[in-house]
Amino acid sequence: MKNHCLLFAILFALFLTSFKGDHEERANLKVIEKIKQEEFSNSKAMESLFQLTDVTGPRLTGSSGMKKAERWAKQQFEDWGLENAEIEPWGGFGKGWETHKSYLAMTAPYYQQLIAVPKAWTPGTNGLIKANVALIRVDSPKDMEKYKGTLKGKIVVYATTNAYELKVNFNPDAKRLTDEELLKNTYDTHLDDAGANPNPHIKAPLGRPINTLRPKLDSFLIAEGAVAVLSGGRGTDGTLFTSNGASRAWNAKPVLPEMEMGAEHLNRLVRLLDAGKEVSLEMDMDNTYLMADSMENNVVAEIPGTDLKDEVVLLGAHMDSWHGATGTTDNGTGSVVAMEAIRILKAIGVKPRRTIRIILWSGEEQGLLGSRAYVKKHYGDKDTRKFKAGYEKVSAYYNLDNGAGKIRGIYMQGNDEVRPIFEAWMEPFRDLGASTLSIRNTGSTDHISFDEIGIPGFQFIQDNLEYQTRSHHTNMDTYERVNSNDLMQASIIMASFVYHTAMRDEKLPRKPLPKKQ
């Protein structure tokens, strides 16, 4: 009797194992091997990155550089044999802006050229200006009163009363995520997004009065007859983080020409002025405003599906950048990885069940404008909750936008139902350093445009490398910040996730719609 019971137990266990095997999620190892072979032996990632960054240059939304990048990307998709490649308009943006010349130097007490970048959407100087410098410290509107009548014809250096103290940084600029950090990422749902404190060795920022104060200060400086402004922010060792100094709207209040400076050079001016020394500068900026209502675009291309071709799997990244360098890690690398992922799938001849569609966004840096406009046009309105026919046809959107580091895992965006699916798909890449599944929501990039309307949208976890310390929105965001092996690894993993999503019998499970704000 015991032998019969034991035999029955063994047979039942085998039945259960067989049953599970027929239904559990599986990764197609043969296709993954083809993906790896194509990328490791025939990668186009670094060549595409060179074309997008060094050749095209900065890609501020609304600039001619962004338009050039869109044309290049569309042509590249067509050359790779993708279908339905188009530059798809998403709407008016306001005034475009770009800079054609930028020069700043101290001429007294001695000559030295200074590290500085124009603030976006601020005017130029209409030629070379030479002027003495005035230092102002403004923390509230009442602080402006003491500078009345003293700023006419001056270039203004402004600061808050907090000292800008640069300390020796004993931490490495570049780092990979440790096992401990990845483990914490797996279980901690309350972590801030990466980069909340990108420069811990900087005590306090200089030259960045609170946002509600800045418009009042701009009007005051114009009324007092100042000719230009110098300000500073995060960054050390010649790195400065660029930003916008005015609205892109045509009816925005006027502002003065303004440059953001490297901290060490700005601090020198402050020390000299605090010591009562006369400081003179010369400045020349040629900044141009472009068209009255710039029509902006996303770039779209596809590999058509087969039996489920009306359903889609989306992948993408934002192609727009800031203007201080070539926008390589933010987000040339993300754009190139998405491009490389779909190129790989086309090159190895996959016949996806669902249509695979890549979209390269513009307007991300101004508030996810391109992706939100695309979602609203094709899938529905997040505010009214009125959905279109295509809403139910999307399985998932995959995004990459956290620098140049290799993929270490994926954020599940609070959707725990995808865990067993992603576990199976991630397992083959454990030897490439990717294994983490984080339940966390992570924000601030284009997958949010899908997530906030209930479409599964995912961002991959990446090694930070130098992203937050040296390249994100800086004058050092260049080709040199990229490791080619990391780019290839990320391209392989994105291609695999997109492929497996396209081949499933069912679309990825959706979490409940987020509550209305």
pLDDT digits (tens, 9 = 90+) for 286-295: 999 997 678 9
For the domain with range 25-90+296-503, which CATH number is right: 3.30.465.10, 3.30.70.360, 3.40.50.880, 3.40.630.10? 3.40.630.10
Nearby residues of 265 by Cβ (< 8 Å), 6 or more positions away: 114, 115, 116
- Give the long-range contacts of residues 483-488, CB within 8 A, separation 24 or more: 483/404, 483/405, 483/406, 484/43, 484/45, 484/46, 485/406, 486/404, 486/405, 486/406, 487/43, 487/45, 487/46, 487/49, 487/333, 487/336, 487/337, 487/340, 487/404, 488/39, 488/40, 488/43, 488/45, 488/340
Determine the Cα–Cα distance for residues 400 and 445; give it in Å rounded to an integer: 9
Is the separation of the CB atoms in 509 and 417 below 8 Å? yes
Q: So what CATH class is 102-167+202-288? A: alpha beta
Amino acid present at 421 = I
**What does the domain layout of the chain look like in residue ranges?**
25-90+296-503, 102-167+202-288
**Res 27 pLDDT > 90:** yes
**Residue 390 to residues 87, 354, 374, 395: CA-CA distances in angstroms?**
20, 13, 12, 11
Q: Average pLDDT over the chain, rounded to whole?
A: 90
Nearby residues of 149 by Cβ (< 8 Å), 6 or more positions away: 224
**Res 11 pLDDT > 50:** no
Task: Retrieve residue 261's tokens.
Answer: 């400076």
User: Model-level pTM?
Assistant: 0.91
Q: How confident is the model at residue 24 (pLDDT cuts 50, 70, 90)?
A: confident
Two domains, one topology: 25-90+296-503 and 102-167+202-288: no
Q: How confident is the model at residue 513 (pLDDT cuts 50, 70, 90)?
A: confident
* Other beta carbons within 10 Å of 227: 19
pLDDT in tens, 36-45: 999 999 999 9
Amino acid present at 384 = T
pLDDT in tens, 395-410: 999 999 999 999 999 9
